[in-house]
Structure 1
Amino acid sequence: MGYALLTPAILLLVLFVVIPAILAFVLGFTNARLISPNPPELVGFTNFTRLFADPVFLRSLTNVAFFAVIVVPVQSGLALILALLVNTKIRGTTFFRTIYFFPVVTSMVVVSLLWMFLYRRDGLFNVIIDKITFGIIQGPDWINDPTTAMPSIIVLSIWQAVGFHMIIWLSGLQTISEELYEAARLDGASRGQLFRYVTWPGLTATRNLILVTITIQALSLFTQIDVMTKGGPLNATSTVVFQAVRTGFTQQETGYASAISAVFFLIVLIISSIQRFATREK
């Protein structure tokens, strides 16, 4: 009966995860195109050789690394601060939990379209800058300037997803026994010492989960880029996933897009494995 209940989920996983993953590795060694009268031919490591000499791919890899390095610590830290604030037993915390979580349940496409209006040259952010500085400073064209495009995407991404990780931190905080805090207070522990010696060690499992999930989400950055910048300007916001989708569906180079996906999978696997090893229970 157990296997019978598992069968539908297993079939869906095989159909939509396992088979596409295998095809991605196999097609990466071919010259397959999305629409072509000619059958795919094996080309060996040609796609992979081309990949590591492709300046767009290298720029996309750099952009993703920059995005992850900023987003992972800032988003996780901000989410922890919010979780600590809404974990207090005072009136109104449920309201603030809902407010902080609201962007998470909003479609990323809708959020991206909304922030596009905020980032316009005549958008809200530039109007605020103009009012505060009495017209002395003119705000930039945020998502059309290579120097501000990726930072703008970073701010949007942190704002949208911080509520989700706040809930995970909150669930971890609520598993810590109140008796530990009472014992520490009896020993004269200050508020900072309570966090350092009781809260932070008690969040070990939660911390490891958040580290891995935020990193994978950061490396998989796509929707914001596809809606707001299309990888521009001058590839300043191009990412590995976006390049793979654009190469496979717009340029119809399925083989080359599969090579990009395969390399990206290996990169994420290596990073996740290192994180799991570094954060394992000693």
Structure 2
Amino acid sequence: MVIALENTRKWIKSRKGQQILICVGFAAIPLFLLFLFTYLPFGEMVKFSFYKMKYSTPVDKRVFVGWKNYIDVFNRKDCFGALKLSVYYCVGAIIQLILSLYLATILSFKVRGGNLFKGLMFFPYLISGIAIGFIFKFFYTRGFVFDTMLQWIGLNVENLPYWLKDQRINNWSLVATSVWRYFGQNMVLFVGAIMSVDAELYEAAQLDGANKFQQFKNIILPSIKTIVTLNIILSITGSLSAFEQPYVITDGANGTGTYFVVMNEIAHTSQKVGLASAMAVILLLIIFACTILQKLFFKYIFRDAESEEESYEAKRARIKAQKAAAKAEKKALRQAKVGN
């Protein structure tokens, strides 16, 4: 026992022991806070999903209902049916990513006023989502900003739809708000990734006669595949959990109540905590499934990216060799002239 304590003291005083203790000490507090504010509440939420209860229901008065809350999520039209609205936001996310990737590709090269344009496009992301909701609530109101702008180009306000009431178009109006807010963030991420691509790869492609589209397809896209995959995963998961725009702009009225809006109403207005918890667990499982499917999909799409990158690496090496040979030839010519 004494020998073990002595060995422990020596280990603590050693350099390796102190490094481990410092790492554990710095990691302990963040891990404790992560457990306290993330994993513990999540575990409680999963437990609540098996009970019929309100926030104020005492522990001994909670009624265990098993899987009933999960079954109700699929049976109630206002619960699982609200996920259909995520299709609108998924379409908007695809448009948002295509637009941001297109602009990022252009702005990655020298463009006059490019930095100003990037700043202006990124600015909406810095604004609070609640503030953006109030801005667009008045923007789409009948006779206000958007209708006035359309009247400037000769359209009659009486022939225009109600952007937030007409169920044929109101969800698209909310999706446009979401695209306007987030595409600048995606664009900046794409710009950073594209600018990290080695410029000599473009030279190698030009020697092979590749046009701009072929350079984008064979150099830029494979080189930034990690950022593309990340942005798509974030956009799709964000589409499934859309909340701020429909909650602030329309309060979920006229068929705009997304899954999160309905879950918020069930949890805080109807006080059906068990049902709302079951909705949250189901949404988490759906997001996990979508993330895994997307990763498998992009792994298949970019399956040839590594071989393409290797071929361009070989071309880059060839260019360097050609440049070195040209320099050596020039140096030899200069030395020959000096000798003569």
Flag whether TM exceeds 0.5 (same fold). yes
1:34 equivalent in structure 2: 55
Match status 1:17 vs 2:38: yes
Shift in Å, 1:134: 4.8
Match status 1:205 vs 2:226: yes
Give the conservation status (yes or no) of the 8 Å contact 1:78–1:162: yes
Q: In 1, distance between residues paired with 2:105 and 2:93? A: 18
Q: How many residues align?
A: 279
Counterpart pick for 1:223 among 241, 244, 262: 244
Shift in Å, 1:121: 0.4
Give the conservation status (yes or no) of the 8 Å contact 2:143–2:157: no
Counterpart pick for 2:79 among 52, 57, 60: 57
Q: Which runs of 5+ in 2 are unaligned?
A: 1-21, 304-340
Q: 1:125-179: per-residue Cα shift (whole Å, max 9, x none)? A: 1122233235275322211222221100100000000011011111210121101
Match status 1:257 vs 2:276: yes
Give the conservation status (yes or no) of the 8 Å contact 1:129–1:137: no
Name which structure has the greater RCO, CA cutoff 8 Å, separation 6+.
1
Q: In 1, distance between residues paired with 2:83 and 2:215? A: 40
Shift in Å, 1:273: 1.1
1:140-151 alignment to 2 at 5 Å?
140-151=161-172
Q: In 2, distance between residues paired with 1:278 and 1:136? A: 45
2:295 equivalent in structure 1: 276
Which deviates further from its counterpart, 160-169 or 139-148?
139-148
Q: In 1, distance between residues paired with 2:176 and 2:50? A: 38
- Between the two proteins, what is the percent identity of the paired residues? 25
TM-score by length of 2: 0.78
Counterpart pick for 1:131 among 141, 145, 152: 152
1:67 equivalent in structure 2: 89
Computed over aligned residues only, the root mean square deviation of the Cα atoms, in angstroms, reads: 1.6
Are the structure 2 counterparts of residues 136 and 241 from structure 1 closer, same or farther at C-alpha, using a change threshold of 3 Å? closer
Are the structure 2 counterparts of residues 266 and 134 from structure 1 closer, same or farther at C-alpha, using a change threshold of 3 Å? closer
Are the structure 2 counterparts of residues 136 and 45 from structure 1 closer, same or farther at C-alpha, using a change threshold of 3 Å? closer
1:118 equivalent in structure 2: 139
Give the conservation status (yes or no) of the 8 Å contact 1:103–1:163: yes
Give the conservation status (yes or no) of the 8 Å contact 2:247–2:257: no
- SS in structure 1 opposite 2:111? coil
Q: In 2, distance between residues paired with 1:104 and 1:93? A: 18
2:327 equivalent in structure 1: none
Q: In 2, distance between residues paired with 1:24 and 1:190? A: 54
Letter in 2 for 1:222: F
Counterpart pick for 1:248 among 267, 270, 274: 267
Give the conservation status (yes or no) of the 8 Å contact 1:31–1:253: yes
Which structure shows the higher helix fraction? Answer: 2
1:157 equivalent in structure 2: 178
Q: Which of structures 1 and 2 has the bigger CA Rg?
A: 2
Give the conservation status (yes or no) of the 8 Å contact 1:64–1:218: yes
Are the structure 2 counterparts of residues 136 and 124 from structure 1 closer, same or farther at C-alpha, using a change threshold of 3 Å? closer
Q: In 1, distance between residues paired with 2:291 and 2:144? A: 39
TM-score by length of 1: 0.94
Are the structure 2 counterparts of residues 134 and 210 from structure 1 closer, same or farther at C-alpha, using a change threshold of 3 Å? closer
Q: 1:79-138: per-residue Cα shift (whole Å, max 9, x none)? A: 111212221223422111110100010111111111111100011111222332352753
